[in-house]
Structure 1
């Protein structure tokens, strides 16, 4: 049996390997009820009748809720990120009442003594539909005459916006060459290893609601629940325990179940629990990726790009809970790391009768990168310029930072301003590692043998670390001397504990085993946004750093007063506070105890503190501006996003007989500013690349003409296996950002952004002798490549 002290020392990986993870579905409650949902089997239809009579008689059924039974909750859920470009911002009600808008939309909630009972009862609910016309295809849905997803709209355009920088007409007038490409990215899903789950318990005596949720933003869930259920915020506690992957899918609040399960717990006065099965995750948890880009580059003969025009069609699904955020990020990322002075981006956000779209790892950036990098390769081909060289001629130079795209507004509301980087140096490092000259000789040799190898290159940027703020508490415990750290961000595999531990350990010179990190509990920290948009290290990490710096100063000031020396003469070292000449030393715990006199008399630490204080009573009164103990509650608010950079290269082999693509070598150089923990950064980038490979070659939701997901199991939804992922050759540059004290940039989504673009580039290079049509679609499945070869 692992002792408490040993357990505290385990890092996240060891804890999970030992089976000590604790997920929502692991939680058990005395007398708990369980939930199943009746979901729409139609993409668009009116609900004629819902017959629950047989289900009510089913064994174990405690309650059945329809829209008419949920009172004040029977209204559209909040539009979380409003935007003036939104023409009609539709959000769904928790339970459909008159119409359904996608396959999987919940119509009724069954609450029963067991999940088996609930599922059985759900099967007995008879829903009568009257089908309505619809189209699934994004381009067709965007047409004026297309059947409407929402009857009160004149078409399916939910939002329309334009972003501009410079004057495109100037680029059009000066250009010697024009290149146009149209690219398409298919819809996919996050498919986290742990599906979503929520459990709730209501204490009728105190009026307190506790919710356990697989959420990336528990504070936001708490705020929303309090508002919608009309409870005081302090009476709602939301806990995100261990979460098995999020990737954006667990950020949306509210899913209907996140609201209805707590509602049922309050109504029935018993704990209520719901865990979606894998098919439900495919059908009814948010999705992303579908976009069409029609992109035009205006360039000089030497390859210098003067302007860019992009027409984007973005698939929002049936509703718009997150507004236009994915499309917005695509639009503001479309120029990538390139020095393009004139930009004009038009975007239509289109409703389709499918599961609503919210950010998925990358959030619009993979789409933009795929479009601009495909266009760059096409421009290089048309101008007979080497793909590496054309990028060198257009990458932002070191002396041009900060590089401001005047007129483009990022998702944080600030102008797009790339803060720092060494883009040309990174490309040179990558080129040297690939050794293109040697590869071309090998490629020619392989082609003579009937084998088709190709090399691809792609660059990307990532706006990270958006605000508005995150906070942290750092507190030194009296008696034990352990350091407690808490923030509002949650962890879904990023290992925030190791990250925050290192930040605090470096400032306080405390052994990592003495640092206790807690997150994902609104009772531990109650203000903040959450874990999304590659922001945890940048925003919460800097809050932790600032709090630790303030605590360090408090420790030195207290010790200096006790020692009778200046603050500058006090040193922190290995959990001890000492005079720099070594003559006076005391444990950190004793300093914390001295700062909280009511805790004097408990153990040896207290006696040491008493000796230094020279007193045996409760201690002096606190000064007016002081609080007991050594603690800092600090917030960090970034002025704007900071931008990371990546350059990827891949060598592939394509089998023209089957269209199968094998990755032979994958290289990546990445700059996320100052690196605090190399293991975490490496894990995030390699994990992102692996996920990107899935999106590039395998993963696509097969939604048929009826709106049904045809591959809603892991036996049908293809994902890369271990053997499909090559060893990643990862190199780092560190260009610290001036926008935060740690000099860090986010890295959570970085790895996946350029993967589709770089693999497409390599496939085109491999198939050059066969005159294959260029890749314009992701994922590049074997059937897709085979069909391109046939054409």
Structure 2
């Protein structure tokens, strides 16, 4: 039950023209990811990119990592069936154990932290896998097929770049302005950056204004992508905050008639004041800003920060999917979907849950119905949402999402990116569940997307 090696051969369709990230998606983006969370002694991966008469492809949520995870998790499920092992047992035998981390054993990934068995245990308990046999027997009496699918994903987030931030305090309107090199497109960055500034400076959230990606203010930015925003921006904001406070200590020392070494800032205690240590002599953050604004030699009361990160983070988790197939119609329903994720230290659980929910749905969309269809002449016939299948809210149950926070060692906050994780783990869990449901028909492989027609043909004896 131990993995000896993984061999992968990929033929990637780039479309008719090369886009910016087209070749990157099947090659560098998932490099090394085909070994998943397992101890693997050897790996060979051959990638061939080809041009076709279809539209060009570019990066989409996950960008190559969902496919890599799909390969190894389908292999694990197939190996378990052939070796007559439970799907969780074969994974446990091959997990990288916590005691081996930080890991340096290529081609296995260089995990700095994680507890994969714990996440799988928790997911199985929450999914009630022990009760699945009884549920399957009851469904069979009603003409339904039930299947249970496992997936243990890992995602490698971006690193090897720099990001920037600027924090400026305006004494006139008593506001703190923060600029970052990230651009939000729905992730909730403004909320997270406000949290970071509020906890650092002790300023109420309504006194903080977030500005995004202004090249007149910042020298550059790492851009939004690769699930890196929180640790990159938090590092830059921390550096900018340190420089702002250092400048403030000089002004406060002069006003409070004390040595700079005796001045402390109490923002972390919820007080936006500079104080002489051990005394009640204080001056407020905005008062310091107003003093700076009246003295030309002091310049703007602001701090500019930069942060670089070399090491990746490795968000990971267990996904378990339970599906029901109607034998008469081929209609499929997802009855349960359970995810237990490790995103390191979580700053805002509500935002993380939103990212996980959205990611799971996008991953399931690929597995359930999304498909660019061309006719014999090469004409795209699913060119609008009138024809292209999209996942909708009523296609899914309530997702059972929970977390085990194992801090990353690669950044000061201990966070791991969460933006693409759901998309990486969901497809394999779903397909494994479908194949499990179709076990009575001898099905061992089924290509995405899994449509009702495809299922109906299988049940009725067609292929």
Write the distance in 2 (CA, Å) between the matches of 1:682 and 1:548.
28
Q: Judging changes above 3 Å, is the alpha-carbon distance between structure 1 residues 534 and 450 closer, same or farther for their aligned structure 2 residues?
A: same
Runs of 4+ in 1 over 6 A off after TM superposition: none
Task: Choose the corresponding residue for 1:736, options 396, 407, 410.
Answer: 407
> SS state of the match for residue 35, structure 2?
coil
8 Å CA contact 1:556, 1:567 repeated in 2: no
2:284 equivalent in structure 1 = 587
How do 1:359-438 and structure 2 match up within 5 A?
Answer: 359-406=59-106, 416-438=109-131
1:500 equivalent in structure 2 = 193
Q: Judging changes above 3 Å, is the alpha-carbon distance between structure 1 residues 580 and 459 closer, same or farther for their aligned structure 2 residues?
A: same
Write the distance in 2 (CA, Å) between the matches of 1:561 and 1:465.
44
User: How far did 1:341 drift?
Assistant: 1.6
1:353 equivalent in structure 2 = 53
User: How far did 1:312 drift?
Assistant: 0.9
Write the distance in 1 (CA, Å) between the matches of 2:145 and 2:279.
69
8 Å CA contact 2:190, 2:210 repeated in 1: yes
2:168 equivalent in structure 1 = 475
8 Å CA contact 1:475, 1:630 repeated in 2: yes
Structure 1: segments with no counterpart, 5+ residues: 1-302, 409-415, 599-617
> SS state of the match for residue 673, structure 1?
coil
Q: Judging changes above 3 Å, is the alpha-carbon distance between structure 1 residues 775 and 580 closer, same or farther for their aligned structure 2 residues?
A: farther
How do 1:180-329 and structure 2 match up within 5 A?
Answer: 303-321=1-19, 322=21, 324-328=23-27, 329=29
Structure 2: segments with no counterpart, 5+ residues: none
8 Å CA contact 2:22, 2:57 repeated in 1: no
Write the distance in 1 (CA, Å) between the matches of 2:204 and 2:280.
22
Pair 1:684-2:355 in alignment: yes
Write the distance in 1 (CA, Å) between the matches of 2:94 and 2:294.
64
Write the distance in 2 (CA, Å) between the matches of 1:576 and 1:350.
61
State which structure, 1 or 2, has the greater radius of gyration over its C-alpha atoms.
1
Q: Judging changes above 3 Å, is the alpha-carbon distance between structure 1 residues 331 and 738 closer, same or farther for their aligned structure 2 residues?
A: closer
8 Å CA contact 1:468, 1:637 repeated in 2: yes
What is the total number of aligned residue pairs between the two structures?
455
Q: Provide the TM-score with structure 2 as the length reference.
A: 0.93
1:662 equivalent in structure 2 = 333
> SS state of the match for residue 491, structure 1?
coil
> SS state of the match for residue 367, structure 1?
helix
1:777 equivalent in structure 2 = 447
Pair 1:648-2:319 in alignment: yes
Write the distance in 1 (CA, Å) between the matches of 2:403 and 2:250.
39
8 Å CA contact 1:571, 1:580 repeated in 2: no
> SS state of the match for residue 516, structure 1?
strand
Write the distance in 2 (CA, Å) between the matches of 1:720 and 1:407.
36
Q: Judging changes above 3 Å, is the alpha-carbon distance between structure 1 residues 445 and 693 closer, same or farther for their aligned structure 2 residues?
A: same
1:165-188 deviations in Å (ceiling 9; x for gaps):
xxxxxxxxxxxxxxxxxxxxxxxx
8 Å CA contact 1:507, 1:552 repeated in 2: no
> SS state of the match for residue 414, structure 2?
coil
Pair 1:530-2:200 in alignment: no
8 Å CA contact 2:153, 2:318 repeated in 1: yes
**Two-structure CA RMSD over aligned residues (Å):** 2.0
User: How far did 1:332 drift?
Assistant: 2.2
Higher strand fraction (1 or 2): 1
Deviating more after overlay: 702-711 vs 668-677: 702-711
1:460-516 deviations in Å (ceiling 9; x for gaps):
111113231111111112333311111121111011110111111110000011111
User: How far did 1:746 drift?
Assistant: 1.2
8 Å CA contact 1:479, 1:590 repeated in 2: no
8 Å CA contact 2:321, 2:334 repeated in 1: yes
Deviating more after overlay: 349-358 vs 382-391: 349-358
Q: Which has the higher contact order (CA 8 A, sep 6+)?
A: 2
1:334 equivalent in structure 2 = 34
How do 1:505-654 and structure 2 match up within 5 A?
Answer: 505-563=198-256, 564=258, 566-567=261-262, 569-572=264-267, 573-579=270-276, 583-598=280-295, 622=297, 628-654=299-325
Write the distance in 2 (CA, Å) between the matches of 1:529 and 1:708.
37
> SS state of the match for residue 350, structure 2?
helix
Write the distance in 2 (CA, Å) between the matches of 1:777 and 1:331.
23
Q: Provide the TM-score with structure 1 as the length reference.
A: 0.55
Write the distance in 2 (CA, Å) between the matches of 1:395 and 1:630.
51
> SS state of the match for residue 266, structure 2?
strand
> SS state of the match for residue 681, structure 1?
helix
User: How far did 1:323 drift?
Assistant: 5.4
8 Å CA contact 2:151, 2:428 repeated in 1: yes
8 Å CA contact 1:511, 1:575 repeated in 2: no
How do 1:69-218 and structure 2 match up within 5 A?
Answer: none
> SS state of the match for residue 665, structure 1?
strand
How do 1:716-731 and structure 2 match up within 5 A?
Answer: 716-731=387-402
1:573-619 deviations in Å (ceiling 9; x for gaps):
34444456662233211112223433xxxxxxxxxxxxxxxxxxx7x
1:697 equivalent in structure 2 = 368
Write the distance in 1 (CA, Å) between the matches of 2:145 and 2:130.
17
